[in-house]
Amino acid sequence: MTADDARAIRVEAVESLLVEKGLVDPAVVDRIVEHYETNVGPLNGAKVVARAWTDPAFRERLLANGTKAVAELGFGGPEGAMIVALENTPEVHNVVVCTLCSCYPWPVLGLPPTWYKSDAYRSRMVAEPRKLLGEMGLEVPTTKKVRVWDSSAEARYLVIPERPPGTDALGVEELAALVSRDSMIGVAVAKVPAP
């Protein structure tokens, strides 16, 4: 039996006891997990970014109070309090890490990817951000400042990537398709549309 099997059986034991004690309803657990697997993900954040690119008043509200602004689009819930939007500019590239655990704005990005929760990412993004970004495929020009933000319960950061050039004619939905999860963590930039 592997360690994973052992953990699986232990979690099964916890669930069966909680169900017997009436503390959880397994159908509710099913619904919550399915909800996060199907409905909550980076497409939500991409919609927020595309709106910010096209609606200056919304952009202002998003920068002033992220949680309230994303709620306008209907996104909220656990890990959704204290969302703080960070705007990338020609001068500054923002990137997000959670050094203590895995704080992450679930309602707009879904659950964090495995690498975000890894010890290596959590320590190296603080110590050598440019090097790690380069290894992840993003070379930030030396003329641009890299700012690393440590997410916490007090502030869960969402990066607004720079709007790619040549996208003036695109609608909000087409723009959202250019916004990847990684670009909203700050380890990538928004995609440039195919010519």
Partner 1 sequence: MTAQPEPMTGQATIDSDLEGTVSPPRDNGAIVFDAPWERRAFGLVLALCRDGQWEWEDFRQQLIVQIAADPERPYWESWAAALETVLSARSALLPVEVDERTDALLARPHGHDHRDDGHGHGHGH
Residues that bind partner 1 (CB under 8 A): 1-18, 21, 23-25, 28-30, 32-33, 35-44, 64-68, 71, 73-82, 100-103, 107, 109-114, 117-119, 153, 181
Q: Give min distance, CB of 179 to partner 1, in A.
A: 12
Angle at which helix 26-38 crosses helix 3-20, to 10 degrees, equals: 130
Q: State both tokens at 167.
A: 């996208």
Helix (H) or strand (E) holding 84: strand 83-87
C-alpha–C-alpha distance, residues 77 and 91, integer Å: 33
DSSP H helical ranges for the chain? 3-20, 26-38, 42-54, 56-64, 66-72, 106-109, 119-127, 129-135, 172-176, 181-185
CB nearer to partner 1: give 9 or 145.
9
Q: Give min distance, CB of 58 to partner 1, in A.
A: 16
101 part of the active site: yes
CB nearer to partner 1: give 19 or 192.
19
Angle at which helix 42-54 crosses helix 56-64, to 10 degrees, equals: 120
CB nearer to partner 1: give 34 or 145.
34
Catalytic-role residue among 16, 101, 118, 123? 101
103 part of the active site: yes
Strand partners, 83: 156
C-alpha–C-alpha distance, residues 56 and 47, integer Å: 14
C-alpha–C-alpha distance, residues 195 and 187, integer Å: 24
CB nearer to partner 1: give 105 or 129.
105
Q: Give min distance, CB of 192 to partner 1, in A.
A: 21
Catalytic-role residue among 103, 123, 180, 183? 103
Q: Give min distance, CB of 23 to partner 1, in A.
A: 6
Active site residues: 98, 101-103
